[in-house]
Each structure stands twice: as structure tokens, then as C-alpha cells.
A and B are shown apart, each in its own frame.
Chain A
Amino acid sequence: MSDLFGTESWWVVIVKAVLIFVVLVVYTLFNIWFERRVVAKMQHRVGPNVHGPFGLLQSLADGVKLALKEDIIPTAADKVVYVLAPIIATIPAFMAWAVIPFGPEVKIPFTDTVTPLQLTDLPVGVIYVLAVTSIGIYGIVLAGWSSGSTYALLGGMRSSAQMISYEIAMGLTFVSVFLYAGSMSTAAIVEAQEGMWFFIPLFPAFVIYVIAMVGETNRAPFDLPEAEGELVGGFHTEYSSLKFALFFLAEYVNMVTVSALATTLFLGGWRAPYPIAFWDGANEGYWPVLWFLGKTLAFIFLFIWLRGTLPRMRYDQFMKFGWKWLIPAALAWTVLVMIVRKVQSDLTLDRQTLLIVAACVAVVLLLVSLIPESKKADEVEDEVEFDAFAGGFPVPPMPGRQTSTDRTDQTETTATSTTSREE
């Protein structure tokens, strides 16, 4: 943790805060364009390509149009909360960026001031991000409630249940990172990844985090709070104009926030990726900002890719997955990491021995998974002779089922198949 945090002059802090805000808003405009172009490519379309170079100014035009639309407040709405909700959703999304490191210490051009490319650092930086994002959920839930509409209420409900569930799994994956880094501060975690990025030793935690972050940001395939097939627009059904734009902004900033957190925790933060890292100057000056934004963009691409590929999950399946698979897996992984760390420090095992043990365990697990499962005894139902007029209504046979006319022709084959099944 740099000594400069908390002792910088006020204008440096203000400049950094404003820069973060500007970067995030511009990044959001870029991401909207990026998403539309990438999804279009995946669907063999062109996407926005008219306004500005490559259609880059399309989001700007759309934003202006959105802001100029009529602002509607429904009669059934609870007015104070209705106006407050989009603000509550947006502000925490930006606040989380106070502790995200963009790069190492740099010299501000035209001055002699040296400053880290991070607004501030907290000893509990990552937990702070978790706390702030949990306030952002209020915006969505309150929007759902205050709209006075059933669709919006259901959307708000879903989103609160979903975010609470997936936040648990997300928080548990942080624990293993804290154990490896020995700190909860984002700057210290990036520092600890000098030798190896954490996604290699902590791969399961990385996978769980990536799944949980998609659930946390309400993005496809987990975009149940705004499932347009069931809930029209979900929590933002009744919102229009700038209030809707704020929700839109919050969603995209949240997407970038969780991506940036994933980069910071697992992908070495602002450190240069593998081939470039051999160049000595890669981790100095303003270059790290580029690596950082590049890695973040890779995650954004993942989000878009998922959206272009996967259908939306059913709500009960989604909850079952979160509570019965993701959280137990995250818990088991956390316990495993704790045991390994304890063994490492007490018995002073080196990495090689650990890797051999891990490989042995993996081989054993693989062998166990190869043992064929004993077949269940639910085949009895198929033995019932097929009746084309079951219940007095004609039904076609299920695929692979023998009808009575077939049966007279192929008595032998049926006989052999039944005997083989009995074995």
C-alpha cells in the first residue's frame, strides 16, 4: 500500500475522481456500441455503423434521444421513492471505483507530483466494493416497489433474491484470494500477483466468481429481473427518459465494476499479460492502464458472448443452481484452500510436492467419475404394452417404442432386447 494515500493534495484527488467518472461514462457509451456490434456479428448482422467512425457515435445519439423523451411518473407510484430509486442505483455503481487500481505510481504530466493511479486504498478495499454494490441493489428493489405495477414488483423481488444469493457465493470466492494475498486491499492484492496471477492457483474460485458476477449484474443468461417474455421490462417497466437512462448507466457501470474486480483479484490487475511482460517498461508509467482496460474489455466481451449464446434460465433452476451448487462449491473450495495454506506453512511443503498431491487427487477423482453408474430400475414403465387409444384418445408412440403391429413382425428382436435388458 502506497504511503501517498490520504496525504495527497486536494486537487490531485479531485482530478482523479473526475477522471474516473469521465472514463466510466465514456466506457459505458463505448460498451453499448461494442455490445451491439458484437451481438450483431454473432447474429450475422452489421449493427450500428452509420454515425461516426464504425458507428461509434450511435450510443451518444441514442443517449441524447433518451434524455429528451417524456418523463412519466405513474399515478400509482410512490413519488419520492420512485424518483430516488434510479439515483440510489447509480451512485454506488460509481463509488465502487474509488478503490480499483488502474496502474502503479506515475508522474502527472507537466508537474512533479507523483501519484498512484487509484483514487484511494482501504485496508478492506474488496469488502468495500461488496458493501457498496449491495447498496446499489436497493435502487432496483425500490424501483420495483415504488412503480406500483405488478411486473415491476416481481422484477424487483427477483433481483433482490438473486443478488443476495449470488453475493454469498461471490463473497466466498474472495476469501481464498485474501488468504493467498494476505490482505483485503486491492493495491496489495495486485502487488501479491507479481509472480503468478491468482487465477492459476485459484482456478475454481475464478470460475465461481465469473458465474456469480453474471448473476450479480442481472445479465443474460441470468437476466430474470428484466425477463421481457414474462415481466415486460421487470423493475424498470414504468421508467422512461433520464430515469431509465440512469438504470441503464448503472447496469453497464456495474458490469465494468465486476469485470475490473475480476481483473484485480484474479488476472493480475494492471500487470502486463504474458508475452508483453518481458518488456521491462510494460509495468511502468501509463502503459498499465492499457493492460487493465484491455483485460476488463475481455470480460465485457465474455458478458456479450454469453448474451449472444445462452437462453435465459428458469427462475427456480437459477436459484437451485446458486444455492445447491455454487455456494457449496465455493465453501468447499475455501476450506480446501485453508487446509492447503495451513499445511504449506506448518509442514513447509514446497509448491512441487503440492502439485504432485493435487495431480494424484485429480487422477483419483477422474477414475471415480469413469466408473459407470448402476442403471436405475425405472425401465418398468416401458414394459407396459403400448396402447394407441390410451384413455380413449389416440396418441402416437414415443420414439423407439414398439407398437403392436411392429411387434408381430419383429417378435425375435423384441425378445432379444427384453432379455438383454433383464441382464
Chain B
Amino acid sequence: MVTFWTLAPIMVLAALGVVLARKAVHSALLLAVVMISLAITYASQGAPFLFAVQIIVYTGAIMMLFLFVLMLVGVDASDSLVETIKGQRMMALVVGLTFGVLVVLVVGQGVVGVSVGLGEANANGNVYGLAALMFTKYVLAIEFTAALLITAAVGAMVLAHRERLVPRRSQREESARRLQEYAETGRHPGPLPTPGVYARHNAVDTPALLPDGSPSELSVSRVLRARGSVREGFEGDVGQTLRQLDPDDPTSTIGGSTPRRGGSGRTEES
């Protein structure tokens, strides 16, 4: 009883939070709280096996997959409110109400009538009792459920499967292709140049400077360039330094006025 009255408020609050939380990850977390609390109530009612399985299967595996997908997709506060399936809200309302009625009926029965037979059911231990029921009386239901789940898993795999249309290129073929390309177009076969990491700007958004002082576009990630978060304004750096070293040197105007894009002997990646 103590367990129930401690956990019930937590569960109700967490369940409300699932619906009301702004961030999808917070909802998922609160759902995990509900599940764990549920598991503890199972344990306090003499069903230790159900307690462990509830945590392993629901909290450990299913919720973790939810979280995984949420993090991968990066669902945030701004979700589209357009119905993709017609009449979805109406159906959800009907199903929700039906489920509510069902829950009220079941709970009402549990509260009004007194449940008996826990001692008998757990006579040989909880696990034995459960196993005996599962593998004798309900064996058909279990088998059908198992078949359904396996079908679903195989179906998901078939839907997600993508046929490989061209053979995978081996490392050797890949390097041969790179050298071939180098011979034909002059594209450098090695890795791309690293970003400009020097004393002032130790960051990936700073382009490397080529010997003539112009920034190399290849040295910064395409994504950063597309976002427009690449640091600019290094064109004059080399010329400035040279001027400081030797004010009379005529070559010190290099890179100062007309910055060249891209590297020498290197074609830009689109």
C-alpha cells in the first residue's frame, strides 16, 4: 500500500508530463519513469519476474529504441500539426475513450471484488507458476504472438532492405580509381587538407591558407560552408606579415588585394 501511494502520484505526474512536455526526448524520459514505477508496483505485488521483464523489455530495449530514433531524427518542439492519415484525430478519440472505459471497468472490478489466489499461484515460486501457465494453458496464444512478432520483424527488415545494384568497390579498386583520376584531371588522390589550425583560431571553421595567402576552400567542411559559418577575412594575413618583415619587398602585396579561391593544381569539389 505504501508503495502504491508513493508511486501513484509520481506515475500520474510523469504520465501528464509525457503529454505536456515540449521536447520529445523529455516525453520519452517521463514515459520511462512511468514504466519503471509500474515495474516496482509489480514487484511489490508478488510478481518479481514481471518486474524484471518489464524493465528489461520495455525500459531497456523499447524505450531505448524510441530515444535512439528521437535523437537521430532530432525531433524538436516544432512538429507539423497536419494530419497525414485522414480522420486520425477522430479515430484516436474513439479508441482513447474505449480504452478509458475498459480501464475504468477493469480497475472497478479489481477495487470492488477482492482478488484471491496469489499464494496458490506463487506456491512453487513466481517463475514456476508463470512458466506452468505459459507453456500449458496459454501455449497456443504464446506461439501465435511469437509468430506475429517474428513476421513483423521480418517485414520490417524486408521493407528496410535495399538491393545493392552495383558491386562494392574494393579498397584496391578505389585507390586505382583515385590515381586514374589524378592522371586525368589532376585531382589530388590523398585526403583533403586540414583546416587552418594556428595560434589565433584553433577551430574547424577556419580555412587553411595556401602559400600565396588565399584561403583553401577544400580545407573546410561543405556543411559549414553551406551554413555560412566559415570565418572569413584571412586573405591579407600573409601579405601583412611579409610587409611587417620587410616593408620594401614588392612581393608582399601577394594575396592582399585579389584573393584566389581554391588550391593550386586542385579542382574544387562541388
Contact = CB atoms under 8 A, between A and B. Distances in A.
Interface residues of B, number: 32
B183 A123 contact: no
- Most chain-A Cβ atoms within 10 A of its Cβ — which of B26, B36, B71, B72? B71
A127 B53 contact: yes
Contacts, number: 93
A135 B61 CA distance: 10
Contacts of A11: none
Q: For the complex, would chain A's binding face be called helix, strand, loop or mixed by DSSP majority?
A: helix
A142 B60 CA distance: 13
Given A134-B56, A134-B60, A160 B48 contact: no
Given A81-B29, A123-B125, A128-B52, A393 B59 contact: no
B67 interface: yes
A124 B127 CA distance: 8
Interface residues of A, number: 32
Contacts of B182: 393
Contacts of A131: 39, 51-53, 55-56, 59-60
Contacts of B61: 134, 164
Contacts of A392: 180, 183-184
B23 interface: yes
Contact of B29 (A142, A144, A171): A142
Contact of B176 (A156, A164, A391): A391
Nearest to B55: A131
A164 B56 CA distance: 10
Contacts of A81: 25-26, 29
Contacts of A123: 48-49, 125-127
A40 interface: no
B183 A393 contact: yes
B68 interface: yes
Interface in B69-121: 71-72
A134 B61 CA distance: 8
A160 B61 CA distance: 10
A391 B71 contact: no
Contacts of A144: 71
Contacts of B36: 135
A360 to B, nearest CB: 32
Nearest to A154: B71
A160 B179 contact: no
Contacts of B26: 81
Contacts of A42: none
Given A123-B48, A157-B72, A391 B183 contact: yes
A100 interface: no
Contacts of B179: 390-391, 393, 395
A145 interface: yes
B119 to A, nearest CB: 15
The 9 closest A-B pairs by CB, nearest first: A134-B60, A392-B183, A131-B55, A391-B180, A127-B52, A393-B183, A131-B52, A124-B52, A131-B56
Interface of A: 78, 81, 122-124, 127-128, 130-132, 134-135, 137-138, 141-142, 144-145, 153, 156-157, 160-161, 164, 167, 171, 184, 390-393, 395
Interface of B: 23, 25-26, 29, 32, 36, 39, 48-49, 51-53, 55-56, 59-61, 64-65, 67-68, 71-72, 125-127, 176, 179-180, 182-184
12 contacts: A81-B25, A124-B48, A127-B49, A127-B52, A131-B53, A134-B55, A135-B36, A135-B59, A145-B71, A164-B64, A391-B176, A391-B183
